[in-house]
A and B are shown apart, each in its own frame.
Chain A
């Protein structure tokens, strides 16, 4: 089926099986490999992107549901929240192996767009669906909190 959507600000016309998960299209067809495959069942958060500003697990998002959608991946993420998160991520040396980080950052940016000064509880609740195999959760929480403070400053 034909699907027209915007990915990272660019109009795209796809000709794909409508049941194909967005993650497959991003990685295999468009070579946007910053979004990771982790579990394929919306349990780990590695494939998190934004669809119309909403965090969304790309592994369980059929492209047939995305006609006219505005999809943002880690490659296209921008804005004050994204800048603050990136700076804080570097400041705290947040990633270890890094595999989960694009998903973590996409969720963190979405949280800050909604809650610019999140509490530890806000952060834990928002990122509960983003698993880090290296268990860098403490650094992630610190970085998100610092990003919020950076946004305020």
Chain B
């Protein structure tokens, strides 16, 4: 017991020394950036793909990267292929049960019955209810939860499905839309999508500029 205790104490002291050393270094050096030239919060920037010479190959690689955002639960939970919205990083069915209805929920239990124009932290416990204006499901034709990057790419390029959006429109949407922006500001208790909207928009722009090619299925 004594030896074990001594060993444990020595280990703890060593760990504290390492921690203290790290803290001292942090105090005297600039704080570590969340982004590198090629990556922001887990999402690669277009620069990371610059070495790929062929437009088609580079474009497809760019799309695969940006699809990490679109297929992330913060986005895909409200882009269901069928049924109602899902919730959480495990994308379980929405609770309370919610249906698509007319796109904004059922008559009498619309999305806005609970979701307001902004996230709201609960007054009586930790957590929050997400919100943005207007809080709504994506159209059924833009349901892509569970899709592969290749399937997603073909889907969002199809103007019969995407609301008549051109590649330029998609770039603008991904770069500027405030509901898209919510994915990085999801409120207490939810993990944000990788990257940030600026990087997501830049990836979309680079993908479109390289021809808007899709990854292989």
Contact A107 B123 (CB under 8 A): no
CB contact list, B96-146 vs A, under 8 A: 96-99, 101, 106-110, 112-114, 116-118, 120-125, 127, 129
Contact A128 B97 (CB under 8 A): yes
Contact A60 B108 (CB under 8 A): no
Contact A24 B123 (CB under 8 A): yes
Contacts of A96 in B (CB 8 A): none
Q: How far is the CB of A86 from chain B (nearest CB, A)?
A: 17
Contact B116 A41 (CB under 8 A): no
* Size bracket, chain B contacts: 20 to 34
CB contact list, A100-114 vs B, under 8 A: 107-108, 110-111, 114
Extra inter-chain contacts (18) besides given A40-B122, A115-B107, CB under 8 Å: A40-B125, A42-B114, A45-B96, A54-B112, A56-B112, A56-B114, A59-B124, A60-B114, A60-B122, A65-B117, A110-B107, A114-B107, A122-B106, A122-B107, A126-B106, A128-B98, A128-B109, A129-B113
With contact pairs A42-B129, A125-B99, A128-B98 given, residues A59 and B123 touching in the complex (Cβ less than 8 Å)? yes
CB contact list, A1-46 vs B, under 8 A: 19-21, 24, 40-43, 45
| Pick from B110, B114, B123: contact of A40, CB under 8 Å | B123
B95 close to chain A: CB less than 8 A: yes
Contacts of B121 in A (CB 8 A): 19
| Pick from B95, B106, B114: contact of A125, CB under 8 Å | B106
Measuring CB to CB, which residues of chain A are less than 8 angstroms from any residue of chain B? 19-21, 24, 40-43, 45, 48, 54-57, 59-62, 65, 107-108, 110-111, 114-115, 118, 122, 125-129, 131
Contact B116 A65 (CB under 8 A): yes
Task: Summarize B's interface: helix, strand, loop or mixed.
Answer: loop
Contact A61 B113 (CB under 8 A): no
Contacts of B109 in A (CB 8 A): 55, 107, 125-129
Between A and B, 10 residue pairs with Cβ closer than 8 Å are: A40-B122, A41-B127, A57-B114, A61-B116, A62-B116, A110-B107, A111-B107, A122-B107, A125-B109, A126-B106
Chain A CB within 10 Å — which of B98, B124, B127 has the most?
B124
Q: How far is the CB of A31 from chain B (nearest CB, A)?
A: 19
Contact A107 B108 (CB under 8 A): yes
Instruction: Give the CA-CA distance A24 to B127 in the complex, in Å.
Output: 18
Instruction: Give the CA-CA distance A19 to B128 in the complex, in Å.
Output: 13
Instruction: Give the CA-CA distance A21 to B110 in the complex, in Å.
Output: 20
Contacts of A57 in B (CB 8 A): 113-114
Chain B CB within 10 Å — which of A54, A59, A62, A126 has the most?
A126
Q: How far is the CB of A34 from chain B (nearest CB, A)?
A: 18
Contact A115 B123 (CB under 8 A): no
Instruction: Give the CA-CA distance A7 to B106 in the complex, in Å.
Output: 25
